[in-house]
Amino acid sequence: MYFQNKLVWITGASSGIGEYLAYALNEEGARLVLSSRKTEELERVRSRCKNPDTVCVIPLDVSDQDAIPKAVEEVISSFGAIDILINNAGISQRELALGTQLSVDRQIMDVNYFGTIALTKAVAPHMQTRRTGQIVVISSVMGKFGAPYRSAYAASKHALHGFFDSLRAELYPDGIRVSLICPGYVHTNVTINALRGDGSPNSVMAESTKGGFPPDVFAKKALRVIKKHKREAIIAKKEGLAVLINRFAPAIFARIARNLKLK
């Protein structure tokens, strides 16, 4: 019953994790706002939800900071309040640091970090007024360590932890709770949509991603984390061990990282 009638805004809802969070949340009675850049894909997701009448599509490119205030106004004027914001939109990377053009580093930061914090800064004051709300961020295990071919991606996800750990403390007295969820491999299009060093799409489905959690299974686990207001959660198979090794034996992890084949 936790999600019954709650208004949940999901970014990156046209595909993968965001898409399956939408199905799972709508199944549990949540009303949804689905956002991303591809309107047709969002409509496809809406039509596949259990109760499409309770689902609204609002296209939004989170890296377009001028578009954010208008989108927030539209959600507030249509629904009155946002109970849960799920910042899920993101893009990954498949290139060595020195082979990645600076414009691509910026693009990844613009979507994964600045897009996420810009939307959060626009939504959180509405939650403050009501003295309730939840902000959820889909980070990554790459938010907890760095590895070859992921420099910009890992940097963007690490930045989210710094920002949202701070914000969690600041918004606690207002009754707002912040959860950072760090997925390991989830079988989505993330590696196909990942950027190469010149900004072109990787267009390859990685075997590791194929072997990850199916997105519906991941979504159910994520809903449990959100319900419990967990501060941070790793949802991963054995790749989650890397987070523990990096935390408790960083010198050993540094040696392992050199040999990781993540291309």
Task: For residue 2, give the nearest of 228, 222, 176, 234 by alpha carbon.
Answer: 228
Q: In terms of CB distance, is 90 or 146 closer to ligand NAP?
A: 90
Among 20, 113, 149, 153, which one carries the catalytic annotation? 153
Q: Which residues bind ligand NAP (CB under 6 A)?
A: 11-18, 36-38, 41, 60-63, 88-92, 111, 115, 138, 140, 183, 185-186, 188-190, 193, 209, 212
Least Å distance, CB 149 to ligand NAP, is 14
Least Å distance, CB 129 to ligand NAP, is 26
Distances (CA, A) of 142 to 98, 153, 155, 161: 18, 7, 8, 11
Q: In terms of CB distance, is 16 or 197 closer to ligand NAP?
A: 16
Single-letter code of the amino acid located at 80: G
Least Å distance, CB 69 to ligand NAP, is 15
Distances (CA, A) of 261 to 41, 104, 257: 32, 21, 9
Single-letter code of the amino acid located at 39: T
Q: In terms of CB distance, is 57 or 176 closer to ligand NAP?
A: 57
Residue 149 annotated as catalytic: no
Catalytic site residues? 153
